[in-house]
Structure 1
Amino acid sequence: MKFSKRMDLFGESIFTTLANMRSERKKQGLEVIDLSIGAPNIPPTQEVMETIAKEAMKPENYLYAIKDAVDLQNTVKEWYERRYGVTIDPETEMTSLLGSQDGLAHLALTLVNEDDIVLVQDPCYPIFRDGPLLAGAKVVTMPLLKENDYLIDFDMIDEKTAQDAKYMIVSYPNNPTCGVANDEFYKKLIVFAKKYNIMVLHDNAYSELLFEGPGHSFLEFEGAKDVGIEFNSLSKTYGLAGARIGFALGNKEIIGKLKSLKSNLDYGMFLPVQKGAIKALTQDQSCVEKTRNAYKHRRDLLVNGCKSIGWDIDMPKGTMFVWAKIPDKFKDSETFVKGLFDKTGVLVVPGNAFGTQGEGYVRMALVQSDDTIEHALDMMDKSGLFK
């Protein structure tokens, strides 16, 4: 059998590798404390779950959805007006996604031809890079450095590269670095995109998990809709990760192309899930603050606990992750991850899985209970790795 050459671009996913490590250790009867995958363990509210369950019992809801229901469109429109002060035309400036990963995987197919240049942050969430590669694009990375607070330095982008770039993927609050962008950054981003005629995709999955003030939408800033779109997701904010609910919003030309592509790829979001999304966005929003406070508490518990055992790491301002520099005595991220796992059962992600600039770091997900985090800290303390 002969397979597509594009598959040569992809090895085994880091999360598959980690899952195999986890499975092998469990087969040996040993404990695993998984801080690797960002799968939220905070469920949706009872009202949201009951809505999906009720709607799933209606036979008429098993027809193809084909497109977004009008009440879902209007709910998302009202959500963006209420939360961000952004006006969206629900017919032309919005489409649902079967999770942001769906949009990130397919957007490049609507924006680039083979060998076109796409600018991607480094380190980044892997699909940011993989989506353009699937479309045959050339990926050029934009380093996110600690000394720049993990913000893109537009002055460091080569002039020729900027002129040739077709689109760029930007995400703040950032996974994995936990970097947070300010107003000035977004203004610079729009100026840069207009100067070089570059389309922008801003991934806004973590705007509600910002611990020091409300998160922004890229679309809040003047001129944003002229150059790009934003993805938003209900996965982390409302605990609906498995339901796969995301949205693309902004520039109507880009949205139109994405909707056209999706009409050939899927038949829309399952109708009971659309009803669950409506309930999530219209219910008492105190659940969002409750979720944010839970992640903040876990952040404090993990970071302060690590400092107490000799692992001094930065306190993130947002997201559901901690981005941690590995202890100096370890030569690289993968060596540290393996050593930590072998001695403690604590599983984290090596930073180089997110790009070359991630080497020397690991990402830990705040997806375990207080008791489990405290147990992980105890195991790490007893390991002697941080002495």
Structure 2
Amino acid sequence: MIKLAERVQTLTPSTTLAITAKANELKAQGVDIIGLGAGEPDYNTPENIIEAAYRSMKEGKTKYTPAGGLPALKEAIINKLERDQGLAYKPNEIMVGIGAKHVLYTLFQVLLNEGDEVIIPIPYWVSYPEQVKLAEGVPVYIEATAGQQYKITPQQLKEAITERTKAVIINSPSNPTGMIYSKEELQELAEVCREKDILIVSDEIYEKLIYGDTVHTSIAELSEDAKNRTIIINGVSKSHSMTGWRIGYAAGDSALIKAMTDLASHSTSNPTTTSQYAAIEAYNGTQDAVEEMRQAFESRLETIFPKVEAIPGFTVIRPQGAFYLLPDVAEAAEKTGYSSVDEFVEGLLTEANVAVIPGSGFGAPSTIRLSYATSLEALTEAVERIHKFVTSKWKE
């Protein structure tokens, strides 16, 4: 009998994938399921990007590239960081990988030794703790409550740091909360990191999807010290609707970038060549489609937020970015006869035919995550089903 490595036996299965699989199974049986679990834009990749990819293939650009990415793509990323954040990087401070997720995985593999701690705010993106554990690190959690707008405080960060702390993860805009740290909040967190001499992993994958008067600030912008201790993680998946192309990048300390590149050379050889040429066009070409998509998400948020807020037993904070709502539904679950939110989610799927993601996968078990990366018609119908489901089962 095959004995698996201990490192994989500690992994928590993806709640998102489990719900999606069950929803797809019901759909295959002919059930009219509306899925609100999507972690990707519902738009196709912009035409100019597709054309650039096709053109590169026709020109014979289908061979290996440098392990850390094409020089032209690195230059496009450098220009993007200068244009959007006013940050200056050199090619040896950029590593391109197979999506931001794999870039993060590679980062933790080269950064952490056994027992090293990484501070992870709750709610968190599902893969952060698992990737830290796979690198033999230890996730250390800080709960950012709804009263804090789901953002950690400098005091919380200070109290969580020990002699084993290697880094803290800042995800802004956040998956799953949609909240964004202000420049002032980031300055206070950066000062704690300076005092305690720890690294900052700044996940900025949703930076282009922000709403209202909110402004996205990268923590690396704040000072030379903040830039030197920050590893920016970003990519084209969310901003340019390119989830399947799998292109992400890291920007930061050259020694760390070299180690990540060396590891990639033995694990992936290089990011997919065609996808890299597509990403060059994504960053160098017109950004009209990016803004069009952002406006569509904002319009959906304006329409759907008050409808979700009106569901009995739902308490929800208006997100500032990304494309998720994270309502606390503990009261709704209790009043409708469920012993947990996970069971409530199961009921929504099998009885109301709406698939949502339980917050337990994000470290927030009293919540659910609703994605509005789907049509307004589907969103409206789904929320109406949820509302009807709750009111029909409500017991005082």
When normalised by structure 1's length, the TM-score is 0.93
Q: How does 1:122-137 map to 2 (within 5 A)?
A: 122-137=122-137
Amino acid at match of 2:106: H
Match of 1:318 in 2: 321
Aligned to 2:70: 69
Query: Is the 2:67–2:269 contact (alpha carbons within 8 Å) kept by the matching residues of 1?
Result: yes
1:175 and 1:32 map into 2 onto residues whose CA distance is 23
Q: Give CA-to-partner distance per residue, 1:34-87, whole Å, 9 cap, x none.
A: 111312211221111111122223334234454422221211111111111111
Query: Structure 1 CA distance, aligned partners of 2:266 and 2:64?
Result: 17
Identity %, equivalent residues: 23
User: Does residue 344 in structure 1 map to residue 352 in structure 2?
Assistant: yes
1:335 CA displacement? 2.1
State yes or no: 1:377 paired with 2:383.
yes
Conserved in 2, the CA contact under 8 Å of 1:190 and 1:227? no
1:152 maps to which residue? 152
CA distance in 2, matches of 1:210, 1:238: 14
- For 1:31 and 1:137, the matched residues in 2 are separated by 43
Partner of 2:29: 28
Moved more, 71-80 or 201-210: 71-80
- Aligned residue in 1 for 2:221: 220
Report the Cα offset of residue 336 of structure 1: 1.9
Deviation, structure 1 residue 191: 1.5
Counterparts of 1:385 and 1:337 in 2: how far apart (Å)?
Answer: 15
Task: Name 1:181's counterpart in structure 2.
Answer: 181
CA RMSD, Structure 1 to Structure 2 (Å)? 1.9
Q: Following TM superposition, by how much is the alpha carbon of 1:102 offset from its aligned partner in structure 2, in angstroms?
A: 0.2
Q: Is the 8 A contact 1:104 1:127 kept in 2?
A: no
Distance across 2 between alignment mates of 1:67 and 1:191: 31
> What secondary structure, in the 3-state scheme, does the structure 2 residue paired with 1:328 have?
helix
* Equivalent of residue 367 in structure 2, options 353, 357, 361: 361
Total equivalences in the alignment: 384
Counterpart secondary structure, 2:166: strand
Give the direction of change, closer, same or farther, for the CA distance of 1:99–1:202 in structure 2 (3 Å limit): same
Counterpart-to-counterpart distance in 2, 1:296 and 1:174: 16
Contact 2:157/2:192 (<8 A) preserved: no
Q: Does 1:268 align with 2:270?
A: yes
Say whether the 8 Å CA contact 1:105–1:130 is kept in structure 2.
no
- Give, as a single letter, the amino acid of the residue that structure 2 aligns with 1:258: M
TM-aligned CA deviation for residue 312 of structure 1: 5.2
Shift of 1:161: 3.8
What TM-score do you get using the length of structure 2 for normalisation? 0.91
Please list every run of 5 or more consecutive structure 1 residues that lacks an aligned counterpart in the other structure: none
Is the CA contact (8 Å cut-off) linking 1:68 and 1:95 kept in structure 2? yes
Q: Distance in 2 between matches of 1:116 and 1:327?
A: 34
Paired with 1:66 and 1:110, the residues of 2 have a C-alpha distance of 15
Is residue 2:148 matched to residue 1:141?
no
Amino acid at match of 1:269: P
Shift of 1:28: 3.4
1:172 CA drift (Å): 0.9
- The equivalent position to 2:289 in structure 1, one of 287, 290, 302, is 287
Q: Give the drift of 1:143.
A: 1.2
Change (3 A) 1:15 1:42: same
Aligned positions of 1:202-241 closer than 5 A: 202-211=202-211, 212-222=213-223, 223-241=225-243
**Do 2:64 and 2:270's aligned partners in 1 also have CA atoms closer than 8 Å?**
no
Checking the alignment, whether the CA contact within 8 Å between 1:109 and 1:135 is kept in structure 2 is yes
Residue of 229, 249, 256 corresponding to 2:251: 249
Partner deviation per Cα, 1:330-385 (whole Å, 9 max, x = no partner): 14321221121122211111111111xx1211111112111111221332344344
C-alpha distance after superposition, 1:225-257 (max 9, x if no partner): 221211011111101110011110122232222
Unaligned runs of 5+ in 2: 335-339
Question: Taking structure 1 as reference, are residues 257 and 327 closer, same or farther at Cα in structure 2, changes over 3 Å only?
Answer: same
Q: Which residue identity lines up with residue 282 of structure 2 in the other structure?
A: A
Q: CA deviation at 1:324?
A: 0.9
Contact preservation (8 Å) 1:322, 1:365: yes
Residue equivalent to 1:112: 112
